[in-house]
A and B are shown apart, each in its own frame.
Chain A
Amino acid sequence: SAVISQKPSRDICQRGTSLTIQCQVDSQVTMMFWYRQQPGQSLTLIATANQGSEATYESGFVIDKFPISRPNLTFSTLTVSNMSPEDSSIYLCSARQGLAGKDTQYFGPGTRLTVL
């Protein structure tokens, strides 16, 4: 199974600043995603990180707020821009790996963000 690491594991940020979260997978994967999990809530998909092209965003999420890069098959970044306290959440990187039709999706340890 894919092993996913994220940096930073947690951060406390001031309102109006931006934070970039890095995600590294230990092997090549077909798809990478970013999710948000607000305290005590379920996971919500932010976007699919596409290699070499613009990410595909879910309804309610926009590129200006959450720019995403994926320069290669094993690395992606998510930036949370112009942060407000409402952005306090856990951000999880995810990757899909396996044979077509039998693949599964693995999750990184998450980045716990607190915005003051």
Chain B
Amino acid sequence: ELKVEQNPLFLSMQEGKNYTIYCNYSTTSDRLYWYRQDPGKSLESLFVLLSNGAVKQEGRLMASLDTKARLSTLHITAAVHDLSATYFCAVDSEGGGADGLTFGKGTHLIIQP
């Protein structure tokens, strides 16, 4: 059974600081997704990482994937309040996505002024 573990599950940080969210998964997968969810809203796609060593950046967020370590990271640089949200990582189940995604439990991020 594929398992996806995120840590931390809850993070409170101050504006201007840097931090990293970690996502470990238990089986081989060559694709990993990061989503953002604001309270009461649906999921917004942030990144799709397609291969080992992939790195993508958008604004203050940077995601990377190490398929050998089965690890992805989401790095936040100089955090701002607008980044407060819950962040989920997810991986394709076996079969290249035919079975949908398996999600981590999410990281609830609060950025305080």
Chain A residues close to B by CB (< 8 Å): 1, 31, 33, 35, 41-45, 48, 56, 58, 92, 94, 96, 101-110
Which of B41, B50, B97, B106 touches A105 (beta carbons < 8 Å)? B97
Q: Which residues of B contact A45 (CB under 8 A)?
A: 93, 99-102
Chain B residues close to A by CB (< 8 Å): 33, 35, 41-43, 45, 48, 50, 88, 90, 93, 96-106
Contact A102 B100, beta carbon cutoff 8 Å: no
Residue from the set A43, A58, A110 with the largest chain B CB neighbour count within 10 Å: A43
Query: Interface of chain B, helix or strand or loop or mixed?
Result: loop
Contact B98 A104, beta carbon cutoff 8 Å: no
A105-B101 contact, Cβ under 8 Å, with A1-B45, A43-B88, A92-B42: yes
Please, could you name 24 A-B residue pairs with CB atoms under 8 Å apart, sorted by A? A31-B100, A41-B105, A42-B103, A42-B104, A42-B105, A43-B88, A43-B90, A43-B101, A43-B103, A44-B103, A45-B93, A45-B100, A45-B102, A48-B98, A48-B99, A58-B99, A94-B101, A101-B50, A103-B97, A104-B33, A105-B97, A105-B101, A107-B35, A109-B42
Cα of A71 to Cα of B46 in the assembled complex, Å: 30
Residue from the set B41, B42, B98, B101 with the largest chain A CB neighbour count within 10 Å: B42
Would you list the 10 A-B pairs with minimal beta carbon distance, nearest first? A45-B100, A107-B43, A33-B100, A43-B103, A42-B103, A109-B42, A104-B48, A42-B105, A107-B42, A110-B42
Cα of A44 to Cα of B99 in the assembled complex, Å: 12
Cα of A109 to Cα of B43 in the assembled complex, Å: 8
Which of A41, A44, A56, A92 touches B43 (beta carbons < 8 Å)? A92
Q: Which residues of B contact A107 (CB under 8 A)?
A: 35, 42-43, 45
Shortest CB distance A77–B (Å): 17
Q: Which residues of A contact B106 (CB under 8 A)?
A: 42
